[in-house]
Amino acid sequence: MMKVRIPISQPSLSQVEMKYVVSALKSSWISSTGEFIPKFETKFAETFGARYAITTNNGTSALHLALLALGVGPGDEVIIPALTFVASSNSILYTGAKPVFVDVDPKTWMLDPQQIPNKITSRTRAIMPVHLYGYPAPMDQIRKLAKKFHLNIIEDAAEAHGAKYNGKYVGTLGDLGCFSFYGNKIITTGEGGMITTNSKKLRNKIMLLKNHGMSPQKKYWHSIVGYNYRMTNLQAAVGLAQLTKFHTFLKKREKIGTWYRQALRQVSCIILPPENNDITIGVNWLFTVLFKDGNGKTRTGLMRFLQTKGIDSRPVFYPLNQFPMYKTKEQFPVSAYISQRGITLPTYPDLSLRDISFITNMIAAYVNL
Ligand SMILES: *Cc1c(COP(=O)(O)O)cnc(C)c1O
């Protein structure tokens, strides 16, 4: 196999991470107690404008805890987009509740608010919008519906640290916001997650659930079945270091998005992802375009061609209803359309204009082959 010269993603790590991790190691606090955990949580909450931020061991457990904290369980239904990473939906299944899929809007690629009311039943408890590929979901419409039908909102912001909706960070617009710090996410801790909320009650419930259900007042007293979903001090050290560079990361990603758009706008067969506007500002998590097959050119062909040039790319997620555990009779045509045509291109802060020019020139070369 040929070595990938431009990977799809790569974390930006430097001296700051090194310094903090060494300091955590030297302190001998390497498990889930230690100074970096509260520091990371406080700084994250401050950065995002949330009252509380709670670390977790990954983004999936963050979603699971958020659902549990709201009391979502067997017999309940939660509305989510049909097009998202499987973890969004799995977290709902873990609680015993049922994920109810809604198709996405072709203009935004996000949960289509107009299709939500049809899906609401007496069992619906919550809506889980996903800010897919770093673009904000239409939160005003979703919040209106949640209010009207008395539903909670859990934002899956795993791919969208720093994306803004109406001037506010996504992840702070619902009852609870969930973030992932997996290696390819906008901020990483290797594995890790965070939940943001303004509710003290929800925060306390999450703290209890993530730590074996152990009473904060009475050591080794457990009144509920909890989980071990804690982040380690070592991971929090990496996270705190990453946060010091958060705005630099966002600026670089903005540039990369601009370079991709400028170069690909003229290329036939390519449809660009949703644009920023007055209300929504995306963060180019993984820059993703649609490729319209034609003249013997296909998405698979493009991906193979790029691979021969040492450029990694990925297909977009499959709609969830295509997986055996989520099979539905209902089809989700827009999700299927985006999934069939979507191709994700290398996106990470350390890419240069030269790298992007090389990638986009190779895309144009394939189209004109
Ligand atoms: C990455 C991701 C998750 C899960 O995060 P992990 O940290 O990998 O558990 C959940 N939802 C979406 C949309 C994601 O992209």
pLDDT in tens, 338-357: 999 999 999 999 999 999 99
Non-local (6+) Cβ contacts of 297 within 8 A are 269, 291, 366, 367, 369
Residue 4 predicted with pLDDT over 90: no
> Residue 295's pLDDT is what?
87
* H or E element, residue 118: none
Of 182, 187, 285, the residue with max ligand 1 atoms within 8 A of its CB, to mutate for a pocket test, comes to: 182
| pLDDT confidence band for 122 (50 / 70 / 90) | very high
Distance 254 CA to ligand 1 centre (A): 22
Q: Is the pLDDT of residue 194 over 70?
A: yes
Q: What does the alpha-carbon distance between residue 213 and residue 223 come to, in Å, rounded to a whole number? A: 7
CA of 88 to the centre of ligand 1 (A): 7
pLDDT value for 115: 98
| pLDDT at residue number 6 | 97
Q: Is the pLDDT of residue 325 over 60?
A: yes
For the chain, the average pLDDT equals 97
- Residue 2 clears pLDDT 60, i.e. is over it: no
For residue 266, CA distances in Å to 45, 77, 263, 270, 368 come to 41, 44, 7, 8, 12
**By percentage, how much of the chain surpasses pLDDT 70?**
99
Catalytic residues, by residue number, are: 185
Using CA atoms, how far apart are residues 179 and 357, in angstroms rounded to an integer? 31
38 pLDDT exceeds 80? yes
Mean pLDDT of 132-153: 98
Half-sphere exposure of 354 (CA within 13 A, CB side): 1
> How large is the average pLDDT for residues 89-106?
98
Is residue 74 predicted with pLDDT exceeding 80? yes
Q: Is the shortest distance between the CB of 281 and ligand 1 below 6 Å?
A: no
